[in-house]
Amino acid sequence: MPVGEGVRGIEDLRVALLTGDAPGANTDVVGIKSFTVEVTSDSDEQRGDDAVLMVVQENKALDVSISSAYANLAALGVLSGYTPVTAAGVTTWKDPAAPNTAYVQIVGQAAGRDANNSALRLTVLKCQLVSGPNWDLGEGAWLEPELTFTGVGRGSPAYLYEVASYVTKVAIT
């Protein structure tokens, strides 16, 4: 296995509703364009004698964002906790005004750029939709809904995310 892996882009992203800490069935986010995960943490310094004497770091969290080339109502249903309804050939998703309380797991995968058909998979273990979807129906613009999440620890001990490097790519199921 290589020491590092060259990856470019994202080729698949799935979301699953969490019941407790157990993920349900994965729903494909068709047309995924971006999946960004940033670790955040607050820290505090104790200063004295014109120097930093100690630093205390608080628990970490994640700022997560995704955007898609399609308006994916099935995935929005999983992410928001409101299931789309289909009647007479029309599928309707409604964005609830009530606070979102659903937690989800998000799994994204990028292909390795090597001869082995490798892959790198990033799994955000527990996060909640906190902003979006943002819709832009501007003239001449492609619709690319954007969503923002806050990730928190899952399990005991709690972990925020995991990264797996596959020598040979395996599809997310």
| Domain assignment present for 144 | yes
**Of 75 and 107, the one with more pLDDT:** 107
Question: Mean pLDDT throughout 13-25?
Answer: 95
Tell whether the model's pLDDT for residue 1 goes beyond 50: no
Task: Give the domain CATH number at 121.
Answer: 2.30.110
Q: What is the pLDDT of residues 142-165, one digit of tens each?
A: 888 899 999 999 999 999 999 999
| Domain assignment present for 130 | yes
Question: Mean pLDDT throughout 100-124?
Answer: 90
| Domain assignment present for 82 | yes
What pLDDT sits at residue 56?
85
Q: Residue 13 pairs with which residues in a beta bridge?
A: 108
What pLDDT sits at residue 4?
60
Q: How confident is the model at residue 89 (pLDDT cuts 50, 70, 90)?
A: very high
| Domain assignment present for 99 | yes
Provide, rounded to the nearest whole percent, the portion of the chain with pLDDT above 70: 97
Q: How confident is the model at residue 3 (pLDDT cuts 50, 70, 90)?
A: low
| Domain assignment present for 23 | yes
Query: How many domains in the chain?
Result: 1
| Domain assignment present for 95 | yes
| Domain assignment present for 135 | yes
Question: Mean pLDDT throughout 95-101?
Answer: 84
Whole domain around residue 20: which residue ranges? 12-41+56-166
Backbone phi and psi for residue 24, each to the nearest 5 degrees, phi listed first = -85, -155
| Domain assignment present for 2 | no
Question: Mean pLDDT throughout 97-109?
Answer: 91
What pLDDT sits at residue 28?
94
Provide, rounded to the nearest whole percent, the portion of the chain with pLDDT above 90: 55
Q: What is the pLDDT of residues 25-71, one digit of tens each?
A: 999 999 999 999 999 988 888 889 999 888 888 889 999 999 999 88
pLDDT, averaged across the chain: 90
